[in-house]
Amino acid sequence: MGERVVARPNSKFQFSDVCRYTDDSRIISADYRLSFPAHFLFLPSAENATLVIIDALPSVDVISDFRLWENPIRPPPLEPAFVIREVGDKGMGMFATRPIARGEPIICERPTLVLHDRLSVHKDQHHAFYESALAGLSPDAQTAISTLRNAHPETPELSRIRGIIYTNCLAVYFPHDTSRAFSALCGQLCRANHSCAPNAHYSPVVDTFECKLSAMRAIAEGEEITMAYANVAASTAERRECLLERYKFECHCTACDLPEPQATESDRRRTTIGASLGRINEGGVQESVSIARVKDLIKLAEEEGMVEEAWVLSMAGMRYAQRHHDRAEELGMELQKMNFMRMLEGNDADEFGAFAKRKGLSAEELVKTFEDSTREGLGLDYGLFEKLLAAKMAHAGSK
C-alpha cells in the first residue's frame, strides 16, 4: 500500500487520512482499509487536474490510458452565446447574450467530476470521501463544483458535495463501454435551470467525453436557456411532484403555469404521448397503430415543444414503415428523425453530417434546407424535400 497522501497547501479541500498514493501519481486510493476501494483519477495530471474520475481501480486504470486525454480541450468561442448570472429565487441561471439558432451548439464542456454510482464508501467517510475527490483538483475546478446548488439538507450520511452531485448530475458514457452510465458535474452547463418546455437539450458526446447543450428552438437574446430535469411526458401534477422530491422546488415554468383550459389540454397531450412512448418501449409500435396515428402523435409533441419525444416517435414510425415495406413513408420519417435529432444533438452532430453527405450536401446546406422547407410550409414532406434539394443542387451546378 502506498504512502499517505500529503495535504495540499491553500486548498479548500483536503485528502482524508485513509487516502493512499498508488504507482500512478494521477491515481489515489480513497480508502486503504477496504478490500476494493474506489480510486480517484486526476486528469490531465496530478499537478494541475481539471477533472476527477471516481471508480474502482480496474476501471480507472483503463480510463487513464485513453488517448483522448492527450487531445486539447476545444477552446470556448470568442463570443460565448450565454452568460451565467443570478436569477431570483432560482439562484444562478444561463442567459443568451445573442440570438441562438435552432440546432446551434450552445456549449460543449468536459466535465469536472465524474463518478460511478455504485462505489464502496466506509460509513465514517461519507463526508471526507467527496472532499478528497475535490482535494486533487485545481482551485478553479474546486470552486466550479463546490459553488453549484445543493438542494438537499446535509446529514451524517449525505455531505454537501454529495448533495450537489444529486442536485446537478448529468449522465455521461466512456467510449470503451457505453453500457455503463456515470454521473457528471460541469461547472457551466449545470447552471442551466429546468423548464417543462425547455429551449435546449443536453446530450453526452462519447468520443470526446464532453457534455453538450444544443438549442432545440430559436432562442432570443436575453432569454433564459433551460433544459428538462424531469420527464416532460407527464401531467403537471406528476412533474411538480417529481421535481419537488428530487430538486426541492415547485415548478412554475410556462408549461406548469398555463391557465385553464390550456393547462388541461396540455396535460392531455403530454400524457397521451407518454402512454404511447410507454407502449413503444415495451415492444415497438403495435400493428394496430397506423402511420397516420404516429404522425398525429408527432404533431402533438411538436405543439408541446417535446422534441426528444417527437424524435423517438419518428424512429418508431420508420420501423413501422419498414415492416410494411412503405418506402415513401420510411424516408419521410427518416427526414423527420434527422431534423429532430439535430435539434437535440446540434447541427454539428456526426450522424447529421453523415446524413447530409449521403444527400450530397454539407451539414450547413442541410440545415438551411430544413429551415427553408419549414418556412415555406412544406412540412418536411419527403417528396417536396427531394424537389427542393434537386433545385438547390441544380442551382449550385449552374454557377
pLDDT digits (tens, 9 = 90+) for 68-101: 998 877 777 778 899 999 998 888 999 999 999 9
The tally of CA atoms less than 13 A away on the side-chain side of residue 197 is 18
Say whether pLDDT at 244 is over 80. Answer: yes
**How would you list the strands of the sheet with 38-43, edge to edge?**
20-21, 27-29, 38-43, 51-56, 113-115, 177-185, 170-174
Q: Region 228-233: what's the mean pLDDT?
A: 97
pTM higher than the cut 0.95 = no
The rounded distance, in Å, linking the Cα atoms of 399 and 395 is 7
Asked if 234 and 241 touch (Cβ cutoff 8 Å), the reply is: no
pLDDT tens-digit profile of 40-64? 999 999 999 999 999 999 999 999 9
The C-alpha cell that represents 269 in the structure block: 397531450
In the chain, the percentage of residues whose pLDDT exceeds 90 is: 76
Give the burial class of 262: count Cβ atoms within 10 A of its Cβ; 0-12 exposed, 13-18 middle, 19 or more buried. exposed
Residue 75's SS3 state is coil
In the chain, the percentage of residues whose pLDDT exceeds 70 is: 92
Q: Region 192-215: what's the mean pLDDT?
A: 97
Q: Which letter does DSSP use for residue 219 in this model?
A: B
Residue type, 224: E
The rounded distance, in Å, linking the Cα atoms of 218 and 121 is 45
Say whether pLDDT at 287 is over 60. Answer: no
Domain ranges of the chain: 1-73+111-185, 258-397
Q: Region 332-358: what's the mean pLDDT?
A: 94
Asked if 59 and 27 touch (Cβ cutoff 8 Å), the reply is: no
Cβ-proximal residues to 355 (8 Å cutoff; 6+ apart), any chain: 338, 366
pLDDT computed for residue 149 by the predictor = 96
The rounded distance, in Å, linking the Cα atoms of 205 and 163 is 25
Say whether pLDDT at 122 is over 60. Answer: yes
pLDDT computed for residue 391 by the predictor = 72
Q: Give helix then strand counts, H and E, for the chain.
A: 12, 14
Cβ-proximal residues to 232 (8 Å cutoff; 6+ apart), any chain: 196, 197, 198, 239, 255, 270, 304, 306, 309
pLDDT computed for residue 206 by the predictor = 95
Residue 91's SS3 state is coil
